[in-house]
Amino acid sequence: MEKTIARPDRTAMPEWLMDEDEYVPQSGGDTFINKSILAVLGVISRVRNQSMTEDSANSAGAAVKLLGTLLTVLYIAVTKQPSFLKFVLVYELIVLCLMKPEIIKKILKVSAAAASLTFIVMLPALLWGNTYSCLTITSKVFLTITAVNMMSFTTKWNGITSALKKVHCPDMFIFVLDITIKYIVMLGDLVLNMLYALRLRSVGRDRSKYGSLAGVAGTAYIKSQEMAVEMYHAMECRGFDGEYKAVVRSRFTKGDAFSLLIYAGLTALFVFYAMM
């Protein structure tokens, strides 16, 4: 039996649909959307990467790292001896050189940017002949930012919250930090989807860029209100009263011991140079 294929009748098509359309959209309309998408994606991926940081058996616990980093930053800020800074620099370089290239790049990018900004701010001091303070402050900024970033890039977010609990940080503070990080990702996802939608729907030049972005921001705000209410209900249902309980890791790892040894060494050096 012969199959008959139904063909649309060409003559039945309305006249206006046959006309050639000469609409050429003006270019350059969605650069701002793309930029916003990239910025939001950058933040979200940063947080997500953080939670996927692998905890190797040799790395120190988050509490040790947190305290050690705070101590290092304090020493860097207080010391008046450039030689002590050299020791800290060598310590940071050694830790850095053992990390993955991508992470080294990210850490150094941030510290280099901060250090060069400081250098520019301190440039007048250099021109007036005060080389010492210009170089010391620039290197202190570099070392501090590197130390903090080294911790943040090698520790999971939940590791940091549990470390904060271990050092008896108020629950309120931990709660705010925890929720902030989680909601950056959730709201970020929401904003990202809205931006995609905006990009798909915008053709040609957008004459009200601020309006579009304000719409996205406003929707995100309303949504965040709803989420907050929902979260409160969820907290009630589960009986969460805002108190965090850290599951204490009983085991004292090799990494902990090694890090403690290094921080003790730094402390000894700091005291030695402070007494000089």
Partner 1 sequence: MHIPDNYLSPSTCVAMTAAMAPVWAVSIKKVKNEVSRSKMPLLGIGAAFSFLMMMFNIPLPGGTTGHAVGGTLLGALLGPWAACIAVSVALLLQALLFGDGGILAFGANAFNMAFVLPFTGYFIYKLIKDRTKSQTGEYIALGAGAYCGINFAALFAAVEFGIQPLLFHNAAGQALYCPYPLSVSVPAMTIPHLLVAGPAEVVFTIVIFAFVCKTSPGTVYEGKKLSFKPLAVLAAVLVCLTPLGLLAAGTAWGEWGTDEISKVMSGGAALGYTPGGMSGGFSWSAVMPDYAVSGMPEAVGYILSAAAGTAILVIIFKLISSMKKGDNGKNNSAA
Sites of contact with partner 1 (CB under 8 A):
81, 83, 86-87, 89-90, 93-94, 96-97, 101-102, 104-105, 108, 272-273, 276
Q: What is the 3-state secondary structure (H, E, C) of the chain?
A: CCCCCCCCCHHHCCHHHHCCCCCCCCCCCCHHHHHHHHHHHHHHHHHHHHHCCCCCCCCCCHHHHHHHHHHHHHHHHHCCCHHHHHHHHHHHHHHHHCCCHHHHHHHHHHHHHHHHHHHHHHHHHHHCCCHHHHHHHHHHHHHHHHHHHHHHHHCCHHHHHHHHHHCCCCHHHHHHHHHHHHHHHHHHHHHHHHHHHHHHHCCCCCCCHHHHHHHHHHHHHHHHHHHHHHHHHHHHHHCCCCCCCCCCCCCCCHHHHHHHHHHHHHHHHHHHHHHC
Comparing CB distances to partner 1, the nearer of 96 and 185 is 96
Phi/psi class of residue 169: alpha, beta or left (left: φ > 0; alpha: ψ in -120 to 50)? beta
* The two structure tokens encoding residue 224: 């965040």
Comparing CB distances to partner 1, the nearer of 81 and 152 is 81
Q: Specify the length of the chain in residues.
A: 276
Comparing CB distances to partner 1, the nearer of 220 and 262 is 262
Tell me the closest approach of the beta carbon of residue 131 to partner 1, in angstroms: 9
Comparing CB distances to partner 1, the nearer of 1 and 276 is 276
The closest of 163, 221, 168 to 190, measured between CA atoms, is: 221
Tell me the closest approach of the beta carbon of residue 84 to partner 1, in angstroms: 9
Comparing CB distances to partner 1, the nearer of 104 and 110 is 104
Comparing CB distances to partner 1, the nearer of 29 and 82 is 82
Tell me the closest approach of the beta carbon of residue 240 to partner 1, in angstroms: 42
Tell me the closest approach of the beta carbon of residue 98 to partner 1, in angstroms: 8
Tell me the closest approach of the beta carbon of residue 266 to partner 1, in angstroms: 13
Comparing CB distances to partner 1, the nearer of 86 and 233 is 86
Tell me the closest approach of the beta carbon of residue 215 to partner 1, in angstroms: 37
CB 164 within 8 A of CB 173: yes
Comparing CB distances to partner 1, the nearer of 36 and 146 is 146
Phi/psi class of residue 239: alpha, beta or left (left: φ > 0; alpha: ψ in -120 to 50)? left
Tell me the closest approach of the beta carbon of residue 64 to partner 1, in angstroms: 22
